[in-house]
Structure 1
Amino acid sequence: MADAAHAPNWTVSTDIENIVWLTLSVEKSSVNVLSREVIGELETIVADLEAKAKSGSIAGVGILSGKPTGFVAGADISEFDDMSEPATLTEALRRTHALLQRIEDFPVPVVAGISGFCMGGGLELALACHYRVAVDDEGTRFGFPEVRLGLFPGFGGTGRSIRQAGPVDAMQLMLTGKAVPARTAKKLNLVDRLVRHRDTLRWAARKAILAKAKSEPAPLTKRVLAMGPVRGRTAAKMREETAKKVNKDHYPAPFALIDIFERHGDDPKAMMAAEIGGFVPLMNSSTARNLRRVFFLTEGLKKQGIRPKPHFARVHVVGAGVMGGDIAAWCAFRGMAVTLQDMDSERIKPALARARTFFEKRLKTKQAVDAAMARLMPDVEGRGIARCDVLIEAVVEKLEVKREIFAAAEKQLRAEAIMATNTSSIELERIAETLETPSRLIGLHFFNPVAQLPLVEVIRSKMNDDEAIGRGAAFVLAIGKSPVVVKSAPGFLVNRALMPYMISAIERVEDGDSPEQLDAAAVAFGMPMGPIELMDTVGLDVGASVARELGQKVPDNSRFAKLVAQGKLGRKSGEGFYVWEDGKPKKEKAPPHGNLPGLGRDLVQPLVDTTEEIVAEGVVENPDMADIGMILGTGFAPFLGGPLKARRDGKA
């Protein structure tokens, strides 16, 4: 290198070809984020390089990450609460806009070399560069996750992404918050060149700088959808599709973004300028504040588990029903070798068929699907028990059956293997009574559908020590789920809070209320689905069993009990309170109601009340853990911050 300089977070070096390399490695952080300090340092660096570029003393600039974890994760969310004053936030956004525009206007080529995640503000920085090179591997991802925080891109990403990808593809990224792999990003024109290995990233960026490469905007065939009267129709379609997924009153950000697009979608610079006025009020909304709280609570869950992290390679699941089969499929999807045990191979076949369907949806190639299926092996004899790192029991909610399984498994399991039950309601102490070492048994309580719900309750009995619970939490994190530690008590956290809510709604149906109206009211309040549809999804037999275990009444002459007796168990049998077709309930039109959100608030009161009781009894560590557990396990209105936060705010 000809020379080098160092700021606290940026390393600046110049090579013999007069290319300046800016390498970001944020101090005291495992990931790169664009804090005010990082942005301020970049302002100083850019000002210095502008003068050198104008004098012809540098050939170009390459921007790289010094972190193995990724390029830039986005803005520093920890600073958001400190920027609640509108004038302060407005000024900070204007400064950042001006900085990225200076990079875009640089007189010599500026190339971003991207490996790992490139999200939010990181993607906005990359889009301000003249050219983008990325590593084509599974770890490199691009996206605008701001909508999940109640916001939209605020560093110029709206206009620049539309310029590069076209209005439909760019708006889809911003409205959904989904991340896409490098290959998809290239197809969207967000990336110009792909390389196979991180080691070649700098070399490819160098070639682009010396060739004065410059990214081309989206073709006219894409941009036309943002032009003239067509833009209004495009915006209307976006609103229609967005409204199917979220309520504008609950999540205003995507609709505010569509409004800006409708006004300025044909002019990237005008759209970027309009960002600031739309972004500032969203930042201070209750939705954004609560979603930030949810984000930090979720991140806190990732810090659980023992250190150093154990390596989990083999999982054995006993019980190939819907829950057990789907747990097995998820673990295989996450790269583990899984043996699935049941009484005979015929009981395992449906689980394998469901697993293949799941893999085909999630994995893009036949090779990847076949590899996942090869990791999921039927095991009627239970030979995998002796080799596994984790044993998960997921059979029917019958105490004696569970005791028999663990009594046999205990003799075969390796000393360091996790022994876990997926019981949804039975206290661990009762299951472990007959074990030689009852302290080994922990609970790993998954939720249906396994692939969609991120929560796993890690159940701690009176006999468990910190080591056992720490290993359980580490395993949950290893399979990409979020662990919440809960003391062993009937129903634990989620089921205990859910059951009074669902039973209360069913009692209303027994009294003549419309299931469709009750479900619509719960959704209007902010729940992802209504209590009657949820009971059908859980399974009426499971619901009735858990209800009785928790002391909830299910009268023999009730419609609920009669449906169970008739084998009409909900989605899994094709009929329950609703008739199900292709995985969806057939619903009649709900009768009109003057205040659906108000009815929904009434419906969730048993859930909120019970959650308070659970915290008071010490079943969970604190109200924050109860809130994040209910959000991740039930989908309880994230924009309200959880049931207890909603009650404190007077909204539940």
Structure 2
Amino acid sequence: MIQPQMPETKHWSFTRDVENIGWLTINTPGPVNTLSREAIMELEALVSRFEELGQSGEIVGVVLLSGKDSGFIAGADVSEFDAMSDFSVLPEALKRTHALFERIENLKIPMVAGIHGFCLGGGLELALACHYRIAVNDDKTRIGFPEVNLGIFPGFGGTGRSIRQAGPVDAMQIMLTGRMLRPGAARGMNLVDKLVRHRDMLRWEGRKAVLTHKRSSEAPLVKRLMAMGPMKSYVAGKMREQAAKKARREHYPAPYALIDLFESHGDDWRAMIRGEVDAFVPLMGSPTATNLRRVFFLSEGLKKQGIKGPKFARVHVIGAGVMGGDIAAWCALRGMSVTLQDLDMARIQPALDRAKKLFRKRLKKRHQVDAAVMRLEADPTGRGVARADVVIEAVVEKLEVKQTIFSELEGKLKPGAIMATNTSSIELERIAEALKEPARLIGLHFFNPVAQLPLVEVIRSTFNSDEEIGRGAAFALAIGKSPVVVKSAPGFLVNRVLMPYMLGAVERAERGESKELLDAAAVAFGMPMGPIELMDTVGLDVGKSVATELGHPVPEGSKFAQLIASGKLGRKTGEGFYKWVDGKAQKGETPAHADLAGLGRELVKPLVDTTEVVVNEGVVANADLADIGVILGTGFAPFLGGPLKARKDGRA
């Protein structure tokens, strides 16, 4: 049939079928679809034609689909954000997009969004402007607003439209947390109208939705009541209380700006959209948003470090302590078959029990939990070594023990298998001394808690080739971790910079300063937890071992040494510098202090100083890698962009 004349586009394609249904497909350059300024301008021209073709009866509706396997639309094009933060450009661009999405909403013909894979940020905002939404109900589909992680909130009308669909409480929660929803949860919140089992069903259901003029319904009155009358300010107050538990307004202004917008306009979703521009613009160019974009790009850059080709199906972990057991559990969670070795089942069983708790927490369905449990196998005799694609040693930090393990391992591994140590401080060259092929040993240094901290330091010795390190980075990426390549040197990157910071705080506490005050000061500066609490979390025995390896011996007779001698090793034993109950440090009153953040900056100075030294020594390739490594490995304030960026900006 003759196709209607359409504008020329680079990011979209359009066809009309025999039933006069229009099929609009987004397929932007690059691995994922994004809404760049050019893509939005092209969509403007297309919507103008839809208005004309709908008026003349040449099309009866439009179904919007993605041409990419990766998903629907991952959001706005973050690479344009720096240019867009210009106050002379941004307001007009936002208003133009608002007007476009309103025109889509006001089309006389139905426009239906068919969603698979990622539907995030601006992509979800576009879908919400459509009249009806269909999503594939599988594990790859994720729906949400991650903008808060970039120091902003939805700016294409998503604030008001999500409140219209999901109600104020649910909508605000997903915007404030940046949480990505599975399709069932999105359907339960009314962000999606229908679920289908497979991607190839989107066209059929989209067709039916157009021909029957399906329209999404708004949230019921019982949900909308939470934004009406005095309830609105009450709800806003509760949201501020929750936000304050996670982040300070001066560090992360976006959640608070969104709550302020809600308190002004949450009872009128159209007014909420109109208010977006004035509230959004100051955030985009803020130091927090600028630094969070930097962190985003640095994190994305880490994904390019692994070589292509290696497949990892089987992992063998030696050492079922906290680190080894949790590494094994994480690999099983990520779909790999894992064998876990230690001297006997008595040592392995606690790790299996912890793993099951992790699986129950992270996997929502019983059969998924059961499958993960089946993938993690106790292996006291080490028979899994010969079949493993990756073998990771995670035993005590004693050189001779590690040397013995790898000497016995070397002849048992299959060709091409990765042989790795999780040592936290010992140089690889020393561990590899006893090996026939020392080049085969690499470091894969995970961080505690393994399930929460995304960093894996890929340790390179003087023996290693680019290929061996590339394989190690590829494995880290395969289990959903972020690899940073570092040179084999005492403490590597993260422990090297953490130790002076933690030990400095411990010394101050030993001299009588309040440990609660020291921890509160570090948090006021922007750290996720204070240095004393962190030492307890790491484990005092581990802290002492790393400190000694780095030339900072723990003084005999100190409280630190006494706690270790009495078996009070921190969180894992229930007591260290603090007592621990249900995984939480039991803290006393925090003394008043005139400049809490200033004290925190003073505490963090040794960490920043050491990061500079590490870069100058070539332990990491450059300052950017040092910044992202320290952020991912220690939680160093992302809103500051990393320790070296913070120092450059005069903030650390």
Normalized against structure 1, the TM-score is what? 0.99
SS in 1 for 2:19: coil
Separation in 1 of the partners of 2:416 and 2:283? 49
Listed one character per residue, the Cα deviations across residues 416-456 of structure 1 (whole Å, up to 9, x for unaligned) are 00000000000000000000100000000000000000000
Separation in 2 of the partners of 1:455 and 1:225? 40
| 1:245 maps onto 2:262 in alignment | no
Listed one character per residue, the Cα deviations across residues 11-48 of structure 1 (whole Å, up to 9, x for unaligned) are 01000010111100002x00000000100100001011
Q: State the AA in 1 paired with 2:150.
A: L
Post-superposition shift, 1:563? 0.4
Q: State the AA in 2 paired with 1:219.
A: P
Q: State the AA in 2 paired with 1:17.
A: E
Separation in 1 of the partners of 2:492 and 2:2? 63
Post-superposition shift, 1:539? 0.2
Separation in 1 of the partners of 2:599 and 2:416? 50
Match of 2:332 in 1: 332
Separation in 1 of the partners of 2:462 and 2:99? 58
Separation in 2 of the partners of 1:434 and 1:52? 76
Separation in 1 of the partners of 2:86 and 2:434? 61
**8 Å CA contact 1:330, 1:451 repeated in 2:** yes
Match of 2:448 in 1: 448
Match of 2:185 in 1: 184
Separation in 1 of the partners of 2:345 and 2:615? 43
Q: State the AA in 2 paired with 1:419.
A: M
Q: State the AA in 2 paired with 1:589.
A: E
Q: Which moved more, 1:1-10 or 1:328-337?
A: 1-10
Separation in 2 of the partners of 1:115 and 1:206? 16
Match of 1:13 in 2: 15
Post-superposition shift, 1:415? 1.5
Post-superposition shift, 1:3? 2.1
Listed as ranges, the gaps of 5+ residues in structure 2 are none
Separation in 1 of the partners of 2:555 and 2:12? 68
**8 Å CA contact 1:2, 1:16 repeated in 2:** no
Separation in 1 of the partners of 2:470 and 2:646? 30
Post-superposition shift, 1:304? 1.0
Post-superposition shift, 1:49? 1.2
Separation in 1 of the partners of 2:538 and 2:54? 63
Listed one character per residue, the Cα deviations across residues 236-261 of structure 1 (whole Å, up to 9, x for unaligned) are 00111111111111000000000000
Separation in 2 of the partners of 1:606 and 1:130? 56
SS in 1 for 2:246: coil
Separation in 2 of the partners of 1:525 and 1:546? 25
SS in 2 for 1:591: coil
Match of 1:25 in 2: 27
Q: Which moved more, 1:571-580 or 1:51-60?
A: 51-60
Match of 1:386 in 2: 386
Match of 2:560 in 1: 560
Match of 2:413 in 1: 413
Listed one character per residue, the Cα deviations across residues 544-586 of structure 1 (whole Å, up to 9, x for unaligned) are 0100000013101100011001100000000000000000010
Match of 1:137 in 2: 138
Match of 2:268 in 1: 267
Match of 1:370 in 2: 370
Separation in 1 of the partners of 2:279 and 2:213? 35
Separation in 2 of the partners of 1:516 and 1:510? 13
Match of 1:43 in 2: 44
Match of 1:296 in 2: 297
SS in 2 for 1:484: strand
Separation in 1 of the partners of 2:183 and 2:475? 28
SS in 1 for 2:620: coil
Separation in 1 of the partners of 2:86 and 2:559? 55
Separation in 2 of the partners of 1:87 and 1:60? 37
Separation in 2 of the partners of 1:2 and 1:576? 77
Separation in 2 of the partners of 1:116 and 1:133? 12
Separation in 1 of the partners of 2:233 and 2:9? 47
Separation in 2 of the partners of 1:137 and 1:455? 28
Q: State the AA in 1 paired with 2:163.
A: I
Post-superposition shift, 1:85? 1.8
RMSD of the alignment, in Å? 0.7
Match of 2:431 in 1: 431
**8 Å CA contact 1:318, 1:342 repeated in 2:** yes
Post-superposition shift, 1:84? 2.5
Separation in 1 of the partners of 2:463 and 2:600? 40
**8 Å CA contact 1:2, 1:13 repeated in 2:** no
| 1:549 maps onto 2:554 in alignment | no
Post-superposition shift, 1:87? 2.3
SS in 2 for 1:71: strand
In the TM superposition, 1:110-125 aligns within 5 A as 110-125=111-126
| 1:72 maps onto 2:48 in alignment | no
Separation in 2 of the partners of 1:416 and 1:241? 49
Separation in 2 of the partners of 1:293 and 1:203? 42
Q: State the AA in 2 paired with 1:49.
A: F
Post-superposition shift, 1:2? 4.8
In the TM superposition, 1:74-223 aligns within 5 A as 74-223=75-224
Listed one character per residue, the Cα deviations across residues 81-103 of structure 1 (whole Å, up to 9, x for unaligned) are 11222121001001100000000
Separation in 1 of the partners of 2:248 and 2:349? 40
Normalized against structure 2, the TM-score is what? 0.99
SS in 2 for 1:513: coil
Q: State the AA in 1 paired with 2:116.
A: S
Separation in 1 of the partners of 2:221 and 2:194? 21
Post-superposition shift, 1:106? 0.4
Separation in 2 of the partners of 1:130 and 1:571? 52
SS in 1 for 2:213: coil
Separation in 2 of the partners of 1:624 and 1:181? 33
Post-superposition shift, 1:55? 1.8
Post-superposition shift, 1:54? 1.4
Separation in 2 of the partners of 1:39 and 1:365? 39
**8 Å CA contact 1:568, 1:575 repeated in 2:** yes
SS in 2 for 1:13: strand
Separation in 2 of the partners of 1:197 and 1:223? 33
In the TM superposition, 1:498-513 aligns within 5 A as 498-513=498-513
**8 Å CA contact 1:2, 1:15 repeated in 2:** no
| Number of equivalences | 650
Match of 1:531 in 2: 531
Listed as ranges, the gaps of 5+ residues in structure 1 are none
Post-superposition shift, 1:458? 0.1
Q: State the AA in 2 paired with 1:444.
A: L
Match of 1:58 in 2: 59
Separation in 1 of the partners of 2:627 and 2:88? 32
SS in 1 for 2:392: strand
**8 Å CA contact 1:455, 1:632 repeated in 2:** yes
Listed one character per residue, the Cα deviations across residues 128-181 of structure 1 (whole Å, up to 9, x for unaligned) are 000000000000010100000000000000000000000000000000001011
| 1:597 maps onto 2:592 in alignment | no
Separation in 1 of the partners of 2:453 and 2:85? 32
Separation in 2 of the partners of 1:403 and 1:3? 71
Aligned-pair identity (%): 69
Separation in 1 of the partners of 2:620 and 2:638? 19
Listed one character per residue, the Cα deviations across residues 257-285 of structure 1 (whole Å, up to 9, x for unaligned) are 00000000011110001000011110010
Separation in 1 of the partners of 2:251 and 2:562? 38
Post-superposition shift, 1:622? 0.1
Separation in 2 of the partners of 1:368 and 1:60? 39
Q: State the AA in 2 paired with 1:265.
A: G
Match of 1:576 in 2: 576
Match of 2:257 in 1: 256
SS in 1 for 2:351: helix
Q: State the AA in 2 paired with 1:162.
A: I
